[in-house]
Amino acid sequence: MLYTQKLEFENKKDNMKNKAIRLLIIAASFFSLLLMYTFYEPYLIEIKQDTIVSKKINSKTDKLKIIFISDIHHGPFLSRERVHNLVDLVNNEMPDIIILGGDYVHRDKKYISSCFDELQYLKAKYGVYAILGNHDHWEGKELTIKNIQRAKINLLDNNASWISVGKSRIKIGGVDDYLEGVQDINPTLTGVKKEDFVILVTHNPDYIEEIKDNTQIDLVLAGHTHGGQVTFFGLYAPILPTKTRQKYRTGKVQVGSMTAIISNGVGTVTPPVRFFARPQINVITLRSE
């Protein structure tokens, strides 16, 4: 009797041990798959569609398509071939306007030239426009500006351009990086009338807090956050390079009378992983109210 009870106890003990081992194997496999996915997600570029409705958009500018790309970070983790493929993806959308939001390379200025060797082939009906990000200051501001100009891209750092569509006007302006530069919004606002649609581009969304009471700006485009890059299933990012934290992490945010769109960007910084913060090409369509 005692021997039988002891045998049953040993069998139960072995079963519990085997069950624990199986659970550990399942858990280890699950976390291994999650880890593998974080290295795969940076390749899953999302075409993120947004529509901006405004009474300032009329029949001439209705359905105007803007593509916004930020944080390419061409370098050791994002090859020239992937920049080339990015250009093809953008051009296939047949945009009217292309805007680049800064941080073109990562870690080394040697990548600047090859990045713009590809970006020079971006095509848009009303032109391609660009600002600088913090990495562009760190890796080589003057060389980046030189290559932007070589690629025949319009530099909007503390500058602005008018786009005329028939008798309608859209003004696109930009400011220098919030961390490393000095911001001058005056070129964007000068000469603007109440019927003009105004777009401001800033690499870092923290700058939105500086202009949130401005009633002349209709649309703000920003990047820098990478959407958090690694998040808790898209709901919360534990690490963000901004003071405003989750407020301007990603997506469309209404700020007073203006709409802000914060892109997840295309590339990554170290480590080269993403988790529920997919890379994005932002396609913004302007529609008449």
**What pLDDT sits at residue 200?**
98
Whether residue 162 sits in one domain with residue 122: yes
pLDDT exceeds cutoff 70 at 5: no
Range of the domain at 29: 1-43
Whether residue 111 sits in one domain with residue 59: yes
Whether residue 32 sits in one domain with residue 94: no
Alpha-carbon distance values, 137 to 11, 15, 149, 180 (Å):
67, 61, 16, 7
Whether residue 1 sits in one domain with residue 107: no
Whether residue 138 sits in one domain with residue 173: yes
How many domains are contained in the chain?
A: 2
* Dist CA 78 CA 230 (whole Å): 17
* Dist CA 168 CA 182 (whole Å): 31
How does pLDDT run across 170-214, given as a tens digit for each residue? Answer: 999 999 999 999 999 999 999 999 999 999 999 999 999 999 999
**What pLDDT sits at residue 6?**
59
- DSSP H helix total and E strand total for the chain: 6, 12
Whether residue 77 sits in one domain with residue 17: no
* Dist CA 259 CA 9 (whole Å): 67
Rounded mean pLDDT of the chain?
A: 94
* Cis preceding-peptide flag for 238 (omega within 30 of 0): no
Q: Residue 205 burial by CB count (10 A; 0-12/13-18/19+): exposed, middle or buried?
A: buried
pTM tops 0.75, yes or no: yes
pLDDT exceeds cutoff 60 at 3: no
Alpha-carbon distance values, 147 to 59, 103, 203, 224, 248 (Å):
36, 13, 18, 21, 30
Copy the structure tokens of residue 76: 């050791």
Copy the structure tokens of residue 157: 């750092």
* Dist CA 238 CA 98 (whole Å): 31
* Dist CA 138 CA 262 (whole Å): 22
Work out the pLDDT band at 129, boundaries 50, 70, 90.
very high
